[in-house]
């Protein structure tokens, strides 16, 4: 099927006869493969008698050479998959297999993409960016402090470079445009964080997605915000450059170096919120974050500090 998709990716009409000749199969076999493409990859295909078959929109596949051409200073090996359960899961498997970090895992599609708190990350084929960068952590817990917030800053800046000027941050791991989610971050550790370990920086960005009935929250995409389709290879390159720059600052000076910048770009700074921790709810006003990236809330006039992977922040109805 992917060989057929390679022929169709230009978005032009191709006759069944020409496609069959190129692949050495019958026209009926081409028809069956087209049905599978529509069903399995959710790719709409126009079928017009006398003209042939055409993808509803052209496709540009992820390509390591094109990514490198747009970000020559990055020296990370890149592993690209057509379809995989999860780029984070594959990154962890590669760590276990002894693959030397840093390295990057990308996929055209995820069949079991996941976000924070076990939520499903909808991952349509060749529309978005599913990105997992693996780092080796040798300087202990200090190198991990505020790391997810640093990654958020890098993602936000990359999106702004591509024309999404409204991109801003929501503690701890989301990038929003207004009330709509455009990107999410999931960090996973393997090894001893007090000694030597690896961390997977998992990033999902809605790039050219224009509809997704499965998403259970408000969302948007780079294309919807910028008004035109985006070259995902260029986006991956820009994301890598931003991550490299922000991680270098973080490694040199800790999260404190980036704390003020993060707070300036926090969409809910000064807002009335509810912090959800399991069945418990804490109401307060966002003061900012501390030098470790923990949330600072004013609760009944008293500053409280909250951190942890299972916390969820929501705007209060009266905010």
Q: How many CA atoms lie within 13 A of 170 on its CB side?
A: 22
In this predicted structure, the answer to whether residue 168 has a pLDDT above a threshold of 60 is: yes
Tokens of 245: 């720059």
- Residue that finishes a domain, picked among 244, 264, 284: 264
In this prediction, residue 295 carries a pLDDT of: 96
Q: Do 220 and 73 share a structural domain?
A: yes
pTM: 0.90
Q: Does residue 110 have a known ligand-binding role?
A: yes
Q: Do 306 and 214 share a structural domain?
A: no
In this prediction, residue 220 carries a pLDDT of: 94
Number of domains in the chain: 3
- Which is the catalytic residue, given 116, 170, 264, 296? 116
pLDDT tens-digit readout, 189-233: 998 887 889 999 999 999 998 876 566 678 999 999 999 999 999
In this predicted structure, the answer to whether residue 40 has a pLDDT above a threshold of 90 is: no
32 classed as catalytic: no
Q: Do 145 and 8 share a structural domain?
A: no
In this prediction, residue 114 carries a pLDDT of: 67
Q: Do 45 and 169 share a structural domain?
A: no
When comparing pLDDT for 23 and 237, which is higher? 237
249 classed as catalytic: no
Q: Does residue 116 have a known ligand-binding role?
A: yes
Q: Do 299 and 249 share a structural domain?
A: no
Q: Does residue 88 have a known ligand-binding role?
A: yes
In this prediction, residue 277 carries a pLDDT of: 85
Would you give the distance in Å from CA 208 to the centre of its chain?
12
pLDDT-based confidence at residue 263 (cuts at 50, 70, 90)? very high
pLDDT-based confidence at residue 163 (cuts at 50, 70, 90)? very high
Q: Do 16 and 123 share a structural domain?
A: no
How many degrees, rounded to 5, is the angle at CA 145 between CA 314 and CA 168? 40
Most confident option among 49-53, 290-294, 304-308: 290-294
Contact predicate 30/37, CB 8 Å: no
Q: Do 175 and 276 share a structural domain?
A: no
When comparing pLDDT for 92 and 5, which is higher? 92
What's the rounded mean pLDDT across residues 241-267?
A: 95
Q: Do 132 and 43 share a structural domain?
A: no
- Which is the catalytic residue, given 51, 117, 142, 314? 314
In this prediction, residue 319 carries a pLDDT of: 47
* Rounded CA Rg of the chain: 21
Q: Do 277 and 149 share a structural domain?
A: no
In this predicted structure, the answer to whether residue 123 has a pLDDT above a threshold of 80 is: no
In this predicted structure, the answer to whether residue 251 has a pLDDT above a threshold of 80 is: yes
Q: Do 287 and 255 share a structural domain?
A: no
- Which is the catalytic residue, given 160, 181, 232, 249? 181
CATH of the domain at 20: 1.10.10.10
> Range of 51's domain?
2-55
CATH of the domain at 282: 2.30.30.100
In this predicted structure, the answer to whether residue 118 has a pLDDT above a threshold of 70 is: no
Q: Does residue 115 have a known ligand-binding role?
A: yes
Q: Do 225 and 189 share a structural domain?
A: yes
Q: Does residue 316 have a known ligand-binding role?
A: no
Q: Do 110 and 92 share a structural domain?
A: yes
In this prediction, residue 42 carries a pLDDT of: 76
The mean predicted confidence, pLDDT, of the chain is 90
In the chain, the percentage of residues whose pLDDT exceeds 90 is 66
In this prediction, residue 5 carries a pLDDT of: 85
pLDDT tens-digit readout, 77-94: 999 999 999 999 999 999
181 classed as catalytic: yes
């Amino acid at each position: 099927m992917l060989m057929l998709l390679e022929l169709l990716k230009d978005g032009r009409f191709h006759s069944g006869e020409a496609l069959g000749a190129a692949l050495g199969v019958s026209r009926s076999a081409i028809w069956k493969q087209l049905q599978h493409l529509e069903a399995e990859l959710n790719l709409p295909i126009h079928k017009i008698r006398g003209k042939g078959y055409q993808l509803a929109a052209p496709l540009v596949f992820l390509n390591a050479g094109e990514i490198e051409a747009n970000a020559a200073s990055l020296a990370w090996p890149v592993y690209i998959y057509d379809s995989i359960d999860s780029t984070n899961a594959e990154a962890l498997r590669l760590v276990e297999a002894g693959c030397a970090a840093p390295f990057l895992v990308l996929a055209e599609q995820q069949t079991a993409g996941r976000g924070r708190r076990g939520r499903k990350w909808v991952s349509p084929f060749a529309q978005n960016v599913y990105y997992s960068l693996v780092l080796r952590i040798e300087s202990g817990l200090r190198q991990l402090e505020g790391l997810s917030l640093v990654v958020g800053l890098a993602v936000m800046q990359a999106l702004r470079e591509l024309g999404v000027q409204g991109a801003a941050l929501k503690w701890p791991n989301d990038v929003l445009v207004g009330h709509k989610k455009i990107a999410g971050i999931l960090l996973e550790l393997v090894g001893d964080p007090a000694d030597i370990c690896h961390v997977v920086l998992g990033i999902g960005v809605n790039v050219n997605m224009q509809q997704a009935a499965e998403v259970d929250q408000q969302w948007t995409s780079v294309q919807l915000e910028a008004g035109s389709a985006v070259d995902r290879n260029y986006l991956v390159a820009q994301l890598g450059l931003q991550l490299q720059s922000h991680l270098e600052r973080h490694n040199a000076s800790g999260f404190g170096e980036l704390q003020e910048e993060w707070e300036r770009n926090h969409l809910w700074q000064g807002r009335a919120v509810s912090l959800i921790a399991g069945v418990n709810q804490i109401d307060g006003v966002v003061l900012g974050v501390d030098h470790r990236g923990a949330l600072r809330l004013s609760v009944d006039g008293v500053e409280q500090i909250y951190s942890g992977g299972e916390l969820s922040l929501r705007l209060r109805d009266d905010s």
